[in-house]
Amino acid sequence: MKHFLSLLDFSPDELYEWLDLAHRLKQEWQTGGNRPILQGKSLAMVFQKPSLRTRVSFEMGMVHLGGYAFYLSPLEIKMGGRESIPDVARVLSGYVDGIMARVFDHHHILQLAEYSRVPVINGLSDYNHPAQAFADLMTIQEHKGQLPGLKLAYVGDSNNVARSLLFGAMKMGMHFAAASPPGYTLSEEDIHLGQSIRASAWQQIELTENPREAVRGADIIYTDVWTSMGQEEETAQRLRIFPPYQINQELVSQANPDCIVMHCLPAHRGEEITDEVADGPHSVLFPQAENRLHAQKAILVRLLAPDYKG
Residues marked as catalytic: 102, 129, 132, 224, 264, 292
User: How many other C-beta atoms are found inside a 10 Å radius of the C-beta of residue 220?
Assistant: 27
Edge to edge, what strands does the sheet with 120-124 contain? 68-72, 42-47, 98-102, 120-124
Cα(140)–Cα(145) distance, integer angstroms = 8
- According to DSSP, the β-strands at 175-179 and 205-208 are parallel
Helix orientation angle between 160-171 and 188-196, rounded to the nearest 10 degrees:
20
